């Protein structure tokens, strides 16, 4: 099937730039009106940094390249707007998510031994749950 990927716009509601900046954005892949998958970009908190907070594909469309297309379209748009790095918080433990982002060229934060990685680790930390256990692993890619 042919996919159309782009920001989903509603005709009934106009979204103000202030609201979009606060809420972030969602890109939807649809085919003849059926939603096949979507990717959520968190609102910008640091200049030049983009954060993917959710990537979802329908079960019938997994392993078909749809997730890759969604991530690559987001990366391309962010690169055009001047973003330097993209972060993805992958639920822990999600081996499928880890392998997926590694195949797209992402690295896990903290695997490198350089000083820049240590400093970024202070700014971009995994989400923590009750009793301080990690809920996500942080992956990044330089654009």
pLDDT digits (tens, 9 = 90+) for 86-142: 999 888 888 889 999 999 999 998 876 555 555 655 577 777 777 777 788 899 999
Cβ contacts of 79-85, under 8 Å, gap ≥ 24: 79/143, 82/48, 83/48, 83/49, 83/50, 83/143, 84/48, 84/49, 84/142, 84/143, 85/48, 85/49, 85/50, 85/140, 85/141, 85/142, 85/143
pLDDT of residue 88: 92
CA distance linking residue 119 with residue 111, whole number of Å: 13
pLDDT reported for residue 46: 78
More confident residue, 10 or 122: 122
Question: How many helical (H) and strand (E) elements, i.e. helices and strands, does the chain have?
Answer: 4, 7
pLDDT digits (tens, 9 = 90+) for 26-75: 888 888 888 889 999 887 767 888 889 889 988 887 888 899 999 999 99
pLDDT at 29: 87
Residue 131 has what pLDDT?
A: 79
Q: How far apart are CA 27 and CA 72, in angstroms?
A: 12
Ordered structural domains, the chain, with CATH: 19-111+122-142 (3.40.630.30)
Do residues 48 and 81 touch, judged by C-beta distance below 8 A?
no
3-state secondary structure (DSSP) of residue 31: strand
Q: What is the pLDDT of residue 11?
A: 56
Residue that the structure tokens 């972030």 belong to: 24
**What does the pLDDT read at residue 102?**
95
């Amino acid at each position: 099937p042919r996919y159309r990927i782009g920001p989903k716009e509603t005709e009934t509601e106009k979204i103000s730039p202030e609201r979009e900046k606060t809420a972030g954005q969602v890109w939807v892949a649809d085919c003849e009106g059926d939603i096949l998958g979507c990717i959520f970009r968190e609102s910008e908190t640091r200049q030049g940094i983009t954060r993917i907070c959710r990537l979802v594909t329908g079960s019938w469309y997994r392993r078909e390249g749809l997730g890759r297309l969604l991530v690559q379209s987001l990366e391309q748009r962010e690169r055009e707007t001047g973003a330097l790095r993209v972060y993805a918080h992958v639920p822990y433990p999600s081996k499928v998510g880890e392998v997926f982002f590694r195949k797209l060229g992402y690295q896990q934060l903290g695997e490198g031994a350089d000083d820049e990685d240590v400093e970024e680790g202070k700014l971009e930390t995994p989400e923590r749950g009750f009793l301080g256990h990690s809920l996500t692993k942080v992956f990044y890619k330089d654009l």
